[in-house]
Amino acid sequence: MDPGDRLKIREFVAEQLRERDDHAAFADGESLIKAGRLDSFAVVKLVMFLETDFGVDFARVEFDPQRFDSVDEMAAMVEEARAG
Amino acid sequence: MALAWNSALRRWGIGAHPLDWRLPPIETYPAVVAFVQTVAGKLALFVAFALLLKPLTPLWLELTLAAAVVSLAGPYRPLAAFACTAAMIVRTGYGYSLKTMQAAVGQENLGAGIHYGYLIAGSLLAVVALSAAAILLARRFRDHPIGRRPVLLQHMLWFALALLASSQLLHGLPQVLLWSLVATFSACFWFLAYALLDQRQRQPAPLLLQLATFHPFFGQDRIPMGKSAGNWRNVEAPDAAELAVTQLKGLKLLAWAIVLKGLLWLFRRVVYGTFGVLPLTDAFDRFLQDGDAPLPFGFVSILANFPEQLLTVAVTGHVVIAIARLAGYRLLRNSCRPLSSRTIAEFWNRYFYYFKEAMVHVYFYPTYLRWFKRHPELRIAFATFMAAGVGNFFLHFVLNNDKIVQHGLFGALLRMEAYAFYCAVLVAGIVISQLNAHQPDPQAGWWRRQLLPSLGVAAFFCFLSFFDGIRPASLRLHFDFLFKVFGVDQWIRAIV
């Protein structure tokens, strides 16, 4: 994936964390939902973000909330959408 | 020197400000984590856990033993979880209320000839077989147009069974058996919904683990705390060190539950005992019987009910999650500082996390992904309506299925009008708070940034909690009571 796209996802995730007063650092592979740092409301925003900014169509890409757990997994989802 | 002192205090959970005080973070002490991995350490942990659990539930020994067995099962954890879940259901009958069956037996005049134990066991076996078949079919036909909506089919099946039962087409024992099936299916409904959703994953968990999540051994009778088998697999402690950390977190959460239980006891003693405030259910019952309301401070009953409800939910949830953690599942807490919420949506997330998660997974996501994709605000509003409104109402309707036996499908629906109001106001509140979401102004002081929004949210839920199914009275009677205790009824009479 283009590093710029990955950075864009990362920035959006960081924004979601900041909205929750969470300013701690996070790695691209770090679990954010399992750790309770992101919740289902954040997943909703991430869905909309991936749809509008990356054209991901969740009618074609398998939707599983756990796939929004880390930047790496979201990047993989975008890749999958582009390949499909 | 001061820094070193502060750091040492923090190691014991004592922050600079009283609001930062916590229970000692024992899961971060290397010596404790290492000790808990030894045989003696595990034994000490289980004994300490059992002793802490004893004042919280009469099933303290069974629950500790079940969690201990699962935690020690290693690669056989799913099998142990299934065995412990089955054993706990036999021992306690989680969630299998007799009310529906008793009502049906009474209706059919079959009092003497019915053995409820056999009835529950038979219905349970039928529902387990039905669920296993549904899970396997959902997995087998996941790409078939019908198989893509297994949870919708599940809803349709429930309605078909409830309609058949309430239509009185059957009589005598077959009718009782049908109601028994409806009651048991209802008790398993949300667990099965999660299991069916799990089949949409690339590699769903094995059937045995799916069934282990139905009224799991760590004990919750209605809402699937721990969510689906897929989630169980994700949050399972991967190694001995992580297992020890998870178990210590469970122990700490249990200790916190005891503190909250003590607080609840003190609250009831002071508010209801010393100050003589009438508990809300008693006050409302008295009003329903003779139109009498505790004046002039009747509204205090409503105010007092809210913290009591918060503490009760927190204690119950903490106990369940603590047991799951002892078994090695790194589950998130059910309640997490709800009063710190600055928005209604945040409160809904923090107050009863696993209830909200069930609504979100079963109703919100499927709606959100299919409807109004080109209208972002309407899309969120409609999905929220389906989750916090329709799903929330349906869940309570399904779980109160004994009312359907007594009043029929339509009659039972009508008797829940106050709860329908609750759902409608909740939906409006969550939608508004989601659509108006903005980052808090970092320049704003603590009062404006935290306290005032939190007070507003608490006031909203305090008012709303009165309609949260306290009694199956009409909406009008609820409002009559409210108007009376707030003294508004005189104004209304004067105006009218």
Backbone angles phi, psi at B236, to 5 degrees: -70, 135
Within 8 A of B360 by CB-CB distance, chain A residues are 40
Tokens of B31: 């010596």
Check whether residue B304 and residue B450 sit in a common domain.
yes
Asked if A34 lies within 8 A of B330 by C-beta distance, the reply is yes
Distance CA A29, CA B109 (A): 63
Check whether residue B172 and residue B248 sit in a common domain.
no
Check whether residue B206 and residue B342 sit in a common domain.
no
Check whether residue B312 and residue B447 sit in a common domain.
yes
Q: Kindly state whether residue B250 falls inside one of the protein's structural domains.
A: yes
Residues B38-60, mean pLDDT to the nearest whole number: 96
Within 8 A of A58 by CB-CB distance, chain B residues are 369
Q: How many domains does chain B have?
A: 2
User: What does the pLDDT read at residue B220?
Assistant: 67
Residues in chain B, overall count: 496
Q: Kindly state whether residue B210 falls inside one of the protein's structural domains.
A: yes
* C-alpha distances in Å from residue A43, one per residue of A16, B155, B361: 10, 25, 11
Quickly state the pLDDT bin for A82 (edges 50, 70, 90). Answer: confident
Q: pLDDT tens digits, residue range B190-203?
A: 999 999 999 988 78
User: What does the pLDDT read at residue B419?
Assistant: 95
Distance CA B270, CA B162 (A): 45
Neighbours of A49 (CB within 10 A): 19
Check whether residue B163 and residue B258 sit in a common domain.
no
Check whether residue B207 and residue B282 sit in a common domain.
no
Q: pLDDT tens digits, residue range B271-314?
A: 999 999 999 999 999 999 887 777 667 789 999 999 999 999 99
Within 8 A of B332 by CB-CB distance, chain A residues are 36
Decide if pLDDT at B97 tops 90.
no
Q: Kindly state whether residue B16 falls inside one of the protein's structural domains.
A: no
ipTM of the complex: 0.87
Which residue of chain A has the CA closest to B204?
A64
Distance CA B78, CA B71 (A): 10
Decide if pLDDT at B112 tops 90.
no
Which of A40, A41, A48 minimises the CB distance to B376? A48
Quickly state the pLDDT bin for B34 (edges 50, 70, 90). Answer: very high
Check whether residue B198 and residue B282 sit in a common domain.
no
**Residue A29 lies in domain:** 3-83
B/e letters for B249-278, b = 16+ CB within 10 Å, e = fewer, are bbbbbbbbbbebbeebeebeeebbeeeebb
Quickly state the pLDDT bin for B492 (edges 50, 70, 90). Answer: confident
Q: How many domains does chain A have?
A: 1
Quickly state the pLDDT bin for A63 (edges 50, 70, 90). Answer: confident
Decide if pLDDT at B321 tops 80.
yes
User: What does the pLDDT read at residue A20?
Assistant: 81
Q: Kindly state whether residue B399 falls inside one of the protein's structural domains.
A: yes
Q: pLDDT tens digits, residue range B130-154?
A: 999 999 999 999 888 888 899 999 9
Following DSSP, what letter does each residue of A33-65 receive, concatenated? TTTTSS-HHHHHHHHHHHHHHH---TTTSPP-G
User: What does the pLDDT read at residue B95?
Assistant: 59
Q: Kindly state whether residue B480 falls inside one of the protein's structural domains.
A: yes
Check whether residue B210 and residue B246 sit in a common domain.
no
Asked if A36 lies within 8 A of B332 by C-beta distance, the reply is yes
Q: Kindly state whether residue B324 falls inside one of the protein's structural domains.
A: yes
User: What does the pLDDT read at residue B42?
Assistant: 97
Q: What is the mean pLDDT of chain B?
A: 90
User: What does the pLDDT read at residue B94?
Assistant: 60
| Better-predicted residue by pLDDT, B311 or B171 | B311
Which residue of chain A has the CA closest to B357?
A40
The pTM assigned to this predicted structure is: 0.91
Quickly state the pLDDT bin for A21 (edges 50, 70, 90). Answer: confident
CA A63 vs. chain centroid, Å, equals: 12
User: What does the pLDDT read at residue B422?
Assistant: 96
Residue partners of B352: CB distance under 8 A and separation at least 6 = B223, B313, B317, B334, B335
How would you classify residue B335: left for phi > 0, otherwise alpha for psi between -120 and 50, otherwise beta? beta
Give the B-side interface with A, CB within 8 Å: 200-202, 230-231, 234-235, 330, 332-333, 336, 345, 349, 356-357, 360-361, 364-365, 368-369, 373, 376, 380, 383, 434, 437, 439-440
Which residue of chain B has the CA closest to A34?
B235
Asked if B356 lies within 8 A of A41 by C-beta distance, the reply is no
Decide if pLDDT at B326 tops 70.
yes
Q: Kindly state whether residue B419 falls inside one of the protein's structural domains.
A: yes
User: What does the pLDDT read at residue B1?
Assistant: 63
Helix/strand/coil (H, E, C) string of B250-287?
HHHHHHHHHHHHHHHHHHHHHHHHHCCCCCHHHHHHHH
- Residues of chain B with pLDDT > 90, as a percent, come to 66
Q: pLDDT tens digits, residue range B206-243?
A: 999 999 999 899 986 788 998 999 999 989 999 999 99
Within 8 A of A21 by CB-CB distance, chain B residues are 440
CA dihedral for B452, B458, B462, B465, sign (positive or negative)? positive
User: What does the pLDDT read at residue B96?
Assistant: 67
Q: Which amino acid belongs to residue B246?
A: T
Check whether residue B164 and residue B207 sit in a common domain.
yes
Q: pLDDT tens digits, residue range A28-56?
A: 999 998 888 998 888 989 999 999 999 88
User: What does the pLDDT read at residue B471?
Assistant: 82
Asked if A34 lies within 8 A of B357 by C-beta distance, the reply is no
Domain of residue A39, CATH code = 1.10.1200.10
Check whether residue B185 and residue B302 sit in a common domain.
no
Decide if pLDDT at B15 tops 90.
no
User: What does the pLDDT read at residue B61?
Assistant: 95
Element (H, E) at B220: none
Strands in B95-212 per DSSP E = none
Decide if pLDDT at B362 tops 90.
yes
Backbone angles phi, psi at B302, to 5 degrees: -70, -45
Q: pLDDT tens digits, residue range B410-427?
A: 999 999 999 999 999 999
**Residue B206 lies in domain:** 96-214
Q: pLDDT tens digits, residue range B440-491?
A: 677 778 788 788 999 999 999 999 999 987 788 899 999 999 988 888 877 7
Residues A51-80, mean pLDDT to the nearest whole number: 88
Within 8 A of A48 by CB-CB distance, chain B residues are 376
Backbone angles phi, psi at B329, to 5 degrees: -100, 120
Asked if A34 lies within 8 A of B373 by C-beta distance, the reply is no
Decide if pLDDT at B359 tops 90.
yes
Within 8 A of B357 by CB-CB distance, chain A residues are 40
Select from B196, B234, B331, B352 the residue whose CB has the most chain A CBs within 10 Å, as the one to mutate to test that interface. Answer: B234
User: What does the pLDDT read at residue B216?
Assistant: 92
- B466, B280 Cβ separation under 8 angstroms: yes
Check whether residue B390 and residue B275 sit in a common domain.
yes
Q: Kindly state whether residue B434 falls inside one of the protein's structural domains.
A: yes
Residues A1-5, mean pLDDT to the nearest whole number: 82
User: What does the pLDDT read at residue B148?
Assistant: 85
